[in-house]
Amino acid sequence: MIVMMVAGTFPEFYQGLRAPIRRLVRWLLERFDLVIVQTESWRRFYSGIGPGGNYIVLPNGVDCHEFTPSGREHSGPATVLFVGWLIPEKGVFDLVDAARILSERGAGFRLRLVGPFHGNEPALRSRVAAVGLGEVVQLVGPLHSRREILEAYHDADIFTLPSWAEGLPVAVLEAMACGLPIVASDVGGTPDLVQHEVCGLLVPARNPAALADALERLVRDRNARLRFGQAARARVESAFSNEVFIAGVLSLLKPPRGDEGTA
């Protein structure tokens, strides 16, 4: 049996288990024929629970033909984009607090929050109003087509995802494929994907001050945005494209040598 582990919240879930259930988890991990994980850091994590398991890294892929850099020259304040569930666990309230810090420092920027509210729209609007950012923060809400989502990436200068937990976030893959520099929490598989100071900047989760520092650096430094964005596109093309993902899947389906042609 093959299992694929994708839940970014699994470490917190595992820590909450009683000792007998933890032993059961270890037993299961070591008895699956194959455990697919999304990054090398996740392989280390699961190996620490079940060291006798058979683990292989197979990350998500993104369509690099659909998600491409816009090539546009943007004028005016830098636009910071968030795409994801608009819930506390994705760090959106931390992001609004970071935006307040940025605004107080006189940094010129716009922040767009894209995604389903899941009941948090009143609380988010209240927080934005309370910190006086109604002119800066746009609560876009859900978009309903791939074209609209792609347009959101193309209108942005920086992508941010300050989540408290992640597996390997698809939104970060899409943003990198569009040539955007990333500011994200150093959780789950995100560090393996972004690589601090290569494709963007990583910050501790639940830390609006650190998030504000990283965002300010990129808001004020266009050259850094371009450098990180170009590296992000190149990294996705080389290691996280759909072609790389499909090749990995096919390699798993290939029968062991000597088994070809057997009934």
Contacts of 125 (CB under 8 A, 6+ apart): 139
Q: Phi first, then psi: what are they for 158, rounded to 5°? A: -145, 140
Check residues 74 and 117 and name the one with the higher pLDDT. 117
pLDDT given at position 13: 94
Q: What is the pTM of this model?
A: 0.92
Angle between helices 208-220 and 222-239 (to 10 degrees): 100
- pLDDT tens digit sequence for 133-177: 999 999 999 999 999 999 999 999 999 999 999 999 999 999 999
> Please, what are the domains in the chain?
2-58 (no CATH), 78-239 (3.40.50.2000)
Q: What is the three-class DSSP state of 46?
A: helix
Confidence of residue 21 (pLDDT cuts 50, 70, 90): very high
pLDDT given at position 253: 75
Q: How far apart are CA 101 and CA 105, in angstroms?
A: 6
